[in-house]
Amino acid sequence: MGRSPCCSKDEGLNRGAWTAMEDKVLTEYIGNHGEGKWRNLPKRAGLKRCGKSCRLRWLNYLRPDIKRGNITRDEEELIIRLHKLLGNRWSLIAGRLPGRTDNEIKNYWNTTIGKRIQVEGRSCSDGNRRPTQEKPKPTLSPKPSTNISCTKVVRTKASRCTKVVLPHESQKFGYSTEQVVNAAPTLDQAVNNPMVGIDDPLLPMSFLDDENNNSCEFLVDFKMDENFLSDFLNVDFSVLYNNEGAGKAAAAATTEDTSNKLHGPDLRSSKAPIIESELDCWLVDN
DNA sequence: AATCACCTCAACCGCAACTCC
DNA sequence: GGGAGTTGCGGTTGAGGTGAT
């Protein structure tokens, strides 16, 4: 079993940094023939590289729509938001940042944001201790209100509703799975009307986030499309990852404030919204 | 000026997902 | 349906750059 490696190491292939000539050859070849067929591309283009290497070079460096220069503050904020939502799904994150590559974002995260999180995490856990000294990056400005380290990730591989888990409460009330499923609002409803289901004993949108045990026992796999992601990204997540913030948000939220999508009326209660949950434990990864 | 330590980021590697037959 | 081949993704590495001493 097992397939042959993409490119064996003993074929006299070039490795390491690309030369300007190689870049030119690759760019011209793709210009004439288009992307794809990476495995055969090096032979056809006359490059002593493996297909993988060509693909990577093209995608991360040679592509004409690559955006050069520092990550802007806006981009950084978007990265942080998306990372909260998606975790280390760099390609998905990159997909929301035109001109940026997954590799670039991953590097940026690992070298810049990740470190800052570590520093902030340390300073959070030990309030009196000063964070270790770190050279601030010019383009960066930490947002102290955002607790980046508390990542709750939604796995977007779930593309359709495939699985429902009954909350214990529903079972206690004697509801069947079918009843709960039928009572559950669509995600669209959830996004546009946080009040849906709030007063229903079935608690279809109540992802129980018990302060003590973090239980979230109801779950629906859902479609994560562009519209949903857009809505998601317009939400200020910081309050959802910060109990204090959540409390304040809850206090501020009124029933008529439906414009605050997903900010339920009481984020600390058992009626926490969909995203404040450990969805990833449940979403089917198939 | 020389050396060291640290940082950045392009490139590599291994694996999983996907596609084709 | 299953196996083989291909593509894409995420983690890791290391060369080169830069600042500190």
Interatomic separation, CA of residue A23 and C1' of nucleotide B1, rounded (Å):
37
In a shared domain, residues A29 and A132:
no
Which residues from the 79-118 window of protein chain A have CB within 7 angstroms of nucleic acid chain C?
A: 88-92, 102-103, 106-107, 110
Residue pLDDT, tens place only, A27-47: 999 888 888 888 888 888 888
Say yes or no: Cβ of A221 under 7 A from any atom of strand C. no
CA–CA separation, A111 and A116 (whole Å): 9
- Structure tokens that stand for A92 in this block: 């998905």
Query: What pLDDT does residue A200 have?
Result: 34
In a shared domain, residues A171 and A132:
no
* Residues of the domain holding A113: 66-147
Note whether residue A77 is domain-resident: yes
User: What pTM did the predictor assign?
Assistant: 0.57
For the ranges A37-46, A143-152, A219-228, A275-284, the one whose mean pLDDT is highest: A37-46
Which residues from the 47-76 window of protein chain A have CB within 7 angstroms of nucleic acid chain B?
A: 49, 52-53, 56-57, 60-61
Continuous H helices in A109-239: 114-125, 168-172, 177-183, 187-192, 226-233
Interatomic separation, CA of residue A81 and C1' of nucleotide B12, rounded (Å):
29
Residue pLDDT, tens place only, A4-16: 445 555 467 788 8
Note whether residue A57 is domain-resident: yes
Note whether residue A53 is domain-resident: yes
* Protein residue closest via CA to C1' of B8: A111
Residue A118 has pLDDT above 70, yes or no: no
Average pLDDT, chain A: 56
Query: What pLDDT does residue A141 have?
Result: 33
Which of residues A62, A82, A113 is at a domain's end?
A: A62
Higher pLDDT, A4 or A57: A57
| Cα separations in angstroms, A57 against A14, A60, A107 | 13, 5, 15
CATH of the domain at A70: 1.10.10.60
Angle, CA of A216, A95 and A56, to the nearest 5°: 120
The confidence band for A110, taking pLDDT boundaries of 50, 70 and 90, is confident
DSSP3 helix / strand / coil % (chain A, rounded to 5) = 40, 0, 55
